[in-house]
Chains A and B, each alone.
Chain A
Amino acid sequence: MGGVHPHDSKISRDCAIAQLPLAPAVYISVAQHIGAPAVPCVAVGDKVKVGQVIAEPGGFVSAFIHSSVSGTVKSIGPRADLAGRMSTHIEIAVEGDEWLEGIDTSDTLITALPEDSKATIEKIRRGGVVGLGGATFPTHVKLSPPPGSKCERLIINGCECEPYLTSDFRTLLEKGEQVVVGAAILAKVMGSVPCTIAIEENKPEAIAHIREVIAKLGYAGIEVMPMKMRYPQGGEKQLIDAVMHRQVGSGALPISVGAVVQNVCTTLAVYDAVQKNKPIVDNSVTVTGECFPKQANLLVRVGTPLRYIIDYLGGVPEEAAKIISGGPMMGRAVANLDAATVKGTGGLLFLTEKQTLRAPETHCIRCGKCADACPMGLEPFLLQKLSRVKDVEALEANAAQDCIECGCCLYSCPAHIPLLDHVRVGKGLALGAIRARAAAAKAAAEAAKAAETAKK
């Protein structure tokens, strides 16, 4: 259902993943995942090594943060992220590149799968693995389904439907073996479920390569499924629909229909964490754009300042008007080049003035293109109206909270109405109302409980 077909513009597809030299200092945020921010467990002046835990999870839905470099902790304090919002960052001055003992940094492929799934999940948790597809949801939480629900199929998301981005594609090509082993580990953890590696048809090399690797490694139950090119094919709920023909209900999790979806880079991180004892200390970032002369896919240490990456590749080109972190559809414009990368940073995209130009908004002509394009089956034209008048009840009734902010509505609108901007505000209102109600219900239940115990 829905979706749009932007040109894929994967101009950096032939650039092999290269290692970015270490920056003089890194700034590692403690809030780079969904859930509670991690709590720093190092002090200023401490010496740390690559892979050493520097912040511990602040709750169940939270993640370990590891030092991505070796050096001295210089400061722990607030620093602006790429949207200018302040969050606690740990600054580490880089000295050499010394890895923590026990981390296997060699290239040897370990294909033997671990037996104990509990221990495996614990290893994944200790490796600070989060969903690298963009949402950065802690992986160990996804792998621990609530009682009563059962995983029936593991889907490895290699769609990379966002135009321009190629880091998943390059990972599939260059680290295909590791990804397949990672997929086998995850499938085993979930109870030896069948596994589908979904790859969009515009990456035939990757499809062929992964098929070859699966045949070579000989794991049972892993298959490659070429997906039709469509944005947002890689959206979690859209992918489940495409692969399993099941629809995830409003507000429900994929596990409710028996699916677990993991991104390619996450799968690689799982392999590293389980087989190599290596936590997430780096991730691949696509640096691209028509106006950017040096296309690159770089392996970047977490916490590297964006300015350092760009300067390494020759600085911001003259004609660039906007720098986007992520893809052009869902990525956010970078307001602060001094911000550091986080685990979920997948790309840096340079757009020219012409590419970013917004046409003047005209009136809605009720053509319904936005409703056709919406992969969630919403009615953006209606939601934006409701959002403008702040009708929270109607927004909730029309499922504004289900919006995945993919931007298809805005992309398809012939009247150039900033649909997504308004719907996003409406989504915030609806979610706020839902959260407030849940909190009130919780408080009421607690009050009733307290009253009961007082009676006794």
Chain B
Amino acid sequence: MVKIIIWTVAVVTVLGIVLALVLYLVAKRFRVEEDPRIDEVEKAMPGANCGGCGFAGCRAFAEAAVKAPNLDNNYCPVGGNDTMAKVAAILGYEVKAKAPLVAVVRCNGTCEARPLLNRYDGFPSCNIKSTLYTGDTGCAFGCLGCGDCAAACQFGALSMDPVTGLPVVDQEKCTACGACVKACPKRIIELRPMGPRGMRMFVSCINQDKGPVAKKACANACIGCGICVKTCTHDAIVMQNNIAYIDPAKCKLCRECEAMCPTGAIHGVNFPKPLDKDAIKERIKIRQQKAKEAAAAGAATVANNKVDAPAAAPVAAAPVKAAVATTPSVAEKKVDAPSGVSPSAPAPVVANNKVDAPAGAPAANTKEGPKDE
């Protein structure tokens, strides 16, 4: 009996040693050489594997980042600048700090503002609903309310508000991975810069219908009236396909558009004070009056300049003349651009703005419906 046990132990031990040796040699011989930095970068990543960077998970991102010559095309929106600084330190690259982004819901068609016209009783998924028809309200562009975005969010940053029927973004939790943007069949959600102290302005509507149609469908719709475009002194708002779009790079957060919007489609969030509409309207009124007077006076001085003393300001006179000659509204803008820009050189600013105004146009939202019906 003892003999059998001793033999067994001996055989197993010898077998173990031999196999261990074989494994060791094989591992040595067929070792896959891998850049050790990949592991390091992966460790520095948030580990959410959300795919927000465009790669299939954090490891794939790490591999791509190590291979890439620089970090220009690789950015982890979830980790943000801190993570990217760590990654850059590991790889010895430089990284440009990016403004943090946040998901913004561009629909404010609440249940109250947008009455139901029919009842959807299909599978509760926006994606499926959008393949069947335009939705249970009169608005063909707005939120469908089934919560595909909330289901897509891995960070619990999106939830459906049962009262309004719209998704709500928790900006503390939002990592701007873009999963909700991809999940929304109506392309309502947009990633926008967080803004200073979280303050940001955006048009919370993407209804491309003409004013009366949009208004009939939803009381809060952007009706494309263009008042905001006229009000904005920073040329931050463009009107395309009957929707206003605020360029976050140009917006100076003066909230004038928000105060003037007749339907309340423009939203400003995280401002310390509530919106004082009347004060802002008064301010705009005064400024416009002043602008009118100044425009009249300006025209006179330009005429004078032209006649008797062109030598006094030859550089400044030329653009001013051009501006006055083209449209009176431009002249108005020139004069009433005190906030933000230095008043000493208004004319060139106007000229620039005039040229590159449509640069920040929103991406055309022309998702076609399925053609297989």
A residues whose Cβ falls under 8 Å from a Cβ of B: 34, 78, 80, 83-86, 322, 332-333, 335-336, 356, 358, 361, 405, 418, 421-422, 424-425, 427-428, 431
Interface size for B (C-beta < 8 A) is 23
Of the candidates A85, A427, A431, the one whose C-beta lies within 8 Å of that of B140 is: A85
Contact B133 A425 (CB under 8 A): no
In the bound assembly, the distance between CA atoms of A84 and B116 in angstroms comes to 13
Given contacts A85-B140, A428-B372, A431-B372, contact A421 B122 (CB under 8 A): yes
Given contacts A83-B134, A335-B117, contact A421 B140 (CB under 8 A): no
Of the candidates A336, A421, A427, the one whose C-beta lies within 8 Å of that of B123 is: A421
Contact B131 A428 (CB under 8 A): yes
B interface SS class: loop
B residues whose Cβ falls under 8 Å from a Cβ of A: 117-118, 121-123, 125, 127-128, 131-136, 138, 140, 209, 213, 369-373
Contact A84 B140 (CB under 8 A): yes
Question: Nearest chain B CB to A87's CB is how many angstroms away?
Answer: 10
Which one of A34, A322, A425 has the greatest number of beta carbons of chain B within 10 Å?
Answer: A425
Question: Nearest chain A CB to B347's CB is how many angstroms away?
Answer: 43
Q: Which residues of A contact B372 (CB under 8 A)?
A: 405, 427-428, 431
Q: Which residues of B contact A361 (CB under 8 A)?
A: 123
Given contacts A85-B369, A427-B372, contact A335 B133 (CB under 8 A): yes
Q: Which residues of B contact A86 (CB under 8 A)?
A: 140, 209
In the bound assembly, the distance between CA atoms of A424 and B131 in angstroms comes to 8
In the bound assembly, the distance between CA atoms of A427 and B372 in angstroms comes to 9
The 10 closest A-B pairs by CB, nearest first: A84-B134, A83-B133, A418-B123, A421-B128, A421-B123, A335-B118, A335-B133, A428-B370, A84-B133, A85-B134
Contact B132 A83 (CB under 8 A): yes
User: What residue in chain B is nearest A86 (Cβ atoms)?
Assistant: B140
Of the candidates A336, A356, A424, A428, the one whose C-beta lies within 8 Å of that of B117 is: A336
Question: Nearest chain A CB to B281's CB is how many angstroms away?
Answer: 34
The number of residue pairs between A and B whose CB atoms lie closer than 8 Å in the complex comes to 59
Contact B140 A425 (CB under 8 A): no
Contact A85 B133 (CB under 8 A): yes
User: What residue in chain A is nearest B213 (Cβ atoms)?
Assistant: A78
In the bound assembly, the distance between CA atoms of A425 and B316 in angstroms comes to 60
Contact A332 B373 (CB under 8 A): yes
Q: Which residues of A contact B121 (CB under 8 A)?
A: 322, 356, 358
Contact B128 A424 (CB under 8 A): yes
Contact A425 B131 (CB under 8 A): yes
User: What residue in chain B is nearest A401 (Cβ atoms)?
Assistant: B372
Q: Which residues of B contact A422 (CB under 8 A)?
A: 123, 128
In the bound assembly, the distance between CA atoms of A431 and B118 in angstroms comes to 29
Question: Nearest chain A CB to B57's CB is how many angstroms away?
Answer: 15
Q: Which residues of A contact B135 (CB under 8 A)?
A: 84
Q: Which residues of A contact B128 (CB under 8 A)?
A: 418, 421-422, 424-425
In the bound assembly, the distance between CA atoms of A356 and B118 in angstroms comes to 15
Q: Which residues of A contact B138 (CB under 8 A)?
A: 84
User: What residue in chain A is nearest B128 (Cβ atoms)?
Assistant: A421
Q: Which residues of A contact B209 (CB under 8 A)?
A: 86
Q: Which residues of A contact B118 (CB under 8 A)?
A: 335-336
User: What residue in chain B is nearest A323 (Cβ atoms)?
Assistant: B118
User: What residue in chain B is nearest A84 (Cβ atoms)?
Assistant: B134
In the bound assembly, the distance between CA atoms of A425 and B371 in angstroms comes to 12
Q: Which residues of B contact A84 (CB under 8 A)?
A: 133-135, 138, 140
Contact B131 A335 (CB under 8 A): no
In the bound assembly, the distance between CA atoms of A280 and B366 in angstroms comes to 32
In the bound assembly, the distance between CA atoms of A333 and B118 in angstroms comes to 10
Contact A425 B127 (CB under 8 A): yes
Q: Which residues of A contact B140 (CB under 8 A)?
A: 80, 84-86
In the bound assembly, the distance between CA atoms of A333 and B133 in angstroms comes to 9
Given contacts A358-B121, A431-B372, contact A335 B127 (CB under 8 A): no
